[in-house]
Amino acid sequence: MLNRRSFGMAAASAVAISVFAPFALVRPAAADAAALEIFIKGLSTRAITDLSAATTDKERAARLLPILQEFFDMPALARHTLGAYWRRATPEEQAEYVEVFTQYMSAVYGKRFSEYSGQTLAVQRVREDGERATIFTIVEGAEGKPRVDWDVAVLDGKQMITDVRVEGLSLAETHRQEFTSVISSKGGKVQALIDILKKKVASL
Amino acid sequence: MSRLMTIAKSTLKASAIATVLLAAGCATPPDPSDDVAVQAFNEANDPLEPMNRYFFEVNHGLDELLFKPFAGYYNIALPDPAKDSVRSFVRNLRTPVILFNDLFQGEGGRAGDTAARFAINTTLGIGGLFDVADWWFGMPYHDEDFGQTLAVWGADEGIYLHLPLLGPSNPRDASGKLVDYVLDPLTWVGYVYNVSWINTTRFAVEGIDTRARNLETIAELQKGSVDFYATIRSLYRQHRNDAIKNGEDPEAVLSQLTNDDMIPADGDEMPIIVAQPVPEKADQLSEAN
């Protein structure tokens, strides 16, 4: 019984390997330091060119939104920030939350670009770990040259950012603690957080 | 004798107030059958949340009234190089505490840096006013405190505390502060020569300088936040963990994140054990899933 099963497994994996091996060669892997460096530089150039032309906070938010969707795994980030409450949310709430969360991120972080004055990202090193990687950068031109680490995962052959840490402070983790605290204080209702975030987005 | 009585009385009074605050300040734990709420409650590790939130509000009020305006004036009054000198000076005064803690943590290299920085900045840097050790010798400032030493020795942070005036803390870091105070030669200089205003002034200057440097960051953070108290709680913990690791060891940070990442793939069981679920609640749970 066991033997047959393991034989089946071996056969299946042999088939899988022979079928998928060619694709593995074509697909861009996360494990490519140069590609990751180009990826993060691309993000920085794109954000600086698109956002420095904006004059109002609303405009900055509107311009940051498509950048977030292109470079960040927003659904995964949104899911992470709800913690265990994600599973409590209905599919409708989940979909609405991902949308509101993306708007919230654009509004909050778009604003910060109003203080932009020529700082640049300098890649220090890249750590690769299969499908995941971390790009370690510092911000040149900012006081104390803060460390910024970017966690990247490969999704459908495309690099996507899953978390950003500034001086060890994680974006995903901080918002998760903030949001779960709000939900807990509202009797565990995810919809309450969605409504609060909507109001916040409107006020920013 | 009467003096002893007064001390005893005021101690009693203080402990009575503390007891009342503690009793009023305890958070109500969530329904044990609500596993998600229990998980959120445990993760916050903040059983004194109501009391902490109270002191958070008090500190926030003081900040709005006093520290923030003062930090604003400080920013306007002093040009950047002057502010840098103020910071270098108070940092240089902290050398003994940093050096002790470097040594306690077995960080020989960093202890050497701290000692060399003190020698260079006190002489060439004119009493610590200029951080020439960083500019010319490539030895940047680093901080250490006994809270971090305790963590390196394996002490747990304990529950979250938001202390009056001092802000975010925990039992480990609060007792660390006390030890640092005792370790600091300036504390004893203050006592012995009856010049404890030195330490009060230093504390105030450190506070104002730090606040002035973070005026915009904190304002932005607060504007964007939907629960500023929880944001600060999270940032404090992450900042301390980063400081304990001296900003290094990103591997550990990464693995910690993935462990915390408690989103199971769809259809997986929740990685939590529910303590004797009430039947009705259990039904609701499976519906929700």
Shortest Cα distance from A87 to chain B (angstroms)? Answer: 6
Shared domain check, B219 and B203? no
DSSP state of A29: P
Shared domain check, B201 and B65? yes
Q: Note the pLDDT of residue B211.
A: 93
**Which residues of B are less than 8 Å from A163 in CB distance?**
257
Q: Could you give the CA distance from residue A15 to residue A28 in angstroms, rounded to a whole number?
A: 22
- Taking the alpha carbons of A5, A7, A10, A13 in that order, is the dihedral positive or negative? negative
Nearest to B241 among A115, A163, A168 (CB): A168
**Residue B12 binned pLDDT confidence (cut-offs 50, 70, 90):** low
For an interface test with A, the pick among B28, B31, B34, B36 (most A C-beta atoms closer than 10 Å) comes out as B36
Q: Where a domain ends, among B194, B213, B232?
A: B213
**pLDDT tens digits, B237-274:** 999 999 999 987 555 444 444 434 444 434 333 333 33
Shortest Cα distance from A62 to chain B (angstroms)? Answer: 16
**Which residues of B are less than 8 Å from A183 in CB distance?**
40
Mark yes or no for CB contact B39/A84 under 8 Å: yes
Provide mean pLDDT across the span A10-16. Answer: 49
**Residue A22 binned pLDDT confidence (cut-offs 50, 70, 90):** very low
Q: Note the pLDDT of residue A64.
A: 95
At a CB cut-off of 8 Å and minimum separation 6, what does B82 contact?
none
Whether the per-residue pLDDT at B213 is higher than 70: the answer is yes
Provide mean pLDDT across the span A26-49. Answer: 80
Shared domain check, B285 and B254? yes
- Which residue do the tokens 């409708």 mark? A92
Provide mean pLDDT across the span A162-190. Answer: 95
Q: Where a domain ends, among B170, B190, B213?
A: B213
Shared domain check, B151 and B190? yes
Shared domain check, B158 and B209? yes
Whether the per-residue pLDDT at A163 is higher than 90: the answer is yes
Q: Note the pLDDT of residue B269.
A: 37
Q: Could you give the CA distance from residue A155 to residue A119 in angstroms, rounded to a whole number?
A: 29
Does residue B118 fall inside a structural domain? no
Shared domain check, B219 and B240? yes
**Is the minimum CB–CB distance between B238 and chain A shorter than 8 Å?**
yes
Shared domain check, B62 and B184? yes
**Residue A169 binned pLDDT confidence (cut-offs 50, 70, 90):** very high
Shared domain check, B262 and B179? no
Q: Note the pLDDT of residue B31.
A: 85
**Which residues of B are less than 8 Å from A200 in CB distance?**
224, 226
Does residue B53 fall inside a structural domain? yes
Q: Note the pLDDT of residue B33.
A: 85
**Which residues of A are less than 8 Å from B245 in CB distance?**
168
Tokens of residue A62, six digits: 């509107």
Mark yes or no for CB contact A177/B234 under 8 Å: yes
Strand (E) positions, A40-143? 120-129, 132-140
Q: Note the pLDDT of residue B24.
A: 66
Shared domain check, B61 and B88? yes
Shared domain check, B168 and B62? yes
DSSP state of A126: E
Shortest Cα distance from A41 to chain B (angstroms)? Answer: 21
Does residue B43 fall inside a structural domain? no
For an interface test with A, the pick among B254, B256, B268, B270 (most A C-beta atoms closer than 10 Å) comes out as B254
Shortest Cα distance from A28 to chain B (angstroms)? Answer: 23
Domain covering A4-203: architecture: Roll (3.10)
Shortest Cα distance from A7 to chain B (angstroms)? Answer: 27
Q: Which residue has the higher pLDDT, B250 or B126?
A: B126
Shared domain check, B285 and B226? yes
At a CB cut-off of 8 Å and minimum separation 6, what does B144 contact?
B97, B98, B101, B102, B105, B107, B110, B114
At a CB cut-off of 8 Å and minimum separation 6, what does A53 contact?
A63
Lowest mean pLDDT among B5-19, B25-39, B70-84, B158-172: B5-19
Shared domain check, B237 and B227? yes
Q: Could you give the CA distance from residue A135 to residue A33 in angstroms, rounded to a whole number?
A: 9
Whether the per-residue pLDDT at A139 is higher than 70: the answer is yes
Number of helices and strands in chain B (H, E): 16, 2
At a CB cut-off of 8 Å and minimum separation 6, what does B33 contact?
B274, B275, B276, B277, B278, B281, B282
How many independent structural domains does chain B possess? 2
Q: Where a domain ends, among B213, B238, B264?
A: B213
Q: Is B167 helix (H, G, I), strand (E, B) or coil?
A: strand
**Is the minimum CB–CB distance between A173 and chain B shorter than 8 Å?**
yes
- Please report, for chain A, the start and end positions of each structural domain, with discontinuous segments joined by +: 4-203
**Residue A87 binned pLDDT confidence (cut-offs 50, 70, 90):** very high
**Residue B73 binned pLDDT confidence (cut-offs 50, 70, 90):** very high
**Which residues of B are less than 8 Å from A83 in CB distance?**
39-40, 43, 262-263
Task: Nearest chain B residue to A202 by CA: give it.
Answer: B224
Mark yes or no for CB contact A80/B39 under 8 Å: no
**Chain B, 91-130: which have a CB under 8 Å from a chain A CB?**
none
Nearest Cα neighbor of A135 from A20, A64, A34, A60 is A34
- Which residue do the tokens 């770990």 mark? A129
Whole-number average pLDDT of chain A: 86
**Is the minimum CB–CB distance between B242 and chain A shorter than 8 Å?**
yes
**Which residues of A are less than 8 Å from B230 in CB distance?**
177-178, 181-182
Does residue B30 fall inside a structural domain? no
Shortest Cα distance from A84 to chain B (angstroms)? Answer: 6
Stated as kind and residue range, the H or E segment containing A80 is helix A74-82
Q: Over the range B183-216, which residues count as b (16 or more CB within 10 Å of their CB) and which as e?
A: bbebbeebeeeeeeeebeebeebbbbbebbbeee
Nearest to A173 among B234, B245, B289 (CB): B234
Interface A:B, Cβ pairs < 8 A: 116
Whether the per-residue pLDDT at B90 is higher than 80: the answer is yes
Q: Note the pLDDT of residue A130.
A: 80
Nearest Cα neighbor of B97 from B168, B188, B167, B161 is B188
Does residue B108 fall inside a structural domain? no
Q: Could you give the CA distance from residue A123 to residue A141 in angstroms, rounded to a whole number?
A: 14
Shortest Cα distance from B78 to chain A (angstroms)? Answer: 17
**Is the minimum CB–CB distance between A168 and chain B shorter than 8 Å?**
yes
Taking CA A138 as the corner, what is the angle to CA A135 and CA A141, rounded to the nearest 5 degrees? Answer: 150
Q: Note the pLDDT of residue A32.
A: 80
Question: Domain span at residue B287?
Answer: 214-289
Q: Note the pLDDT of residue B260.
A: 40
Cα A24 to chain centroid, rounded:
24
Whole-number average pLDDT of chain B: 83
Whether the per-residue pLDDT at A69 is higher than 80: the answer is yes
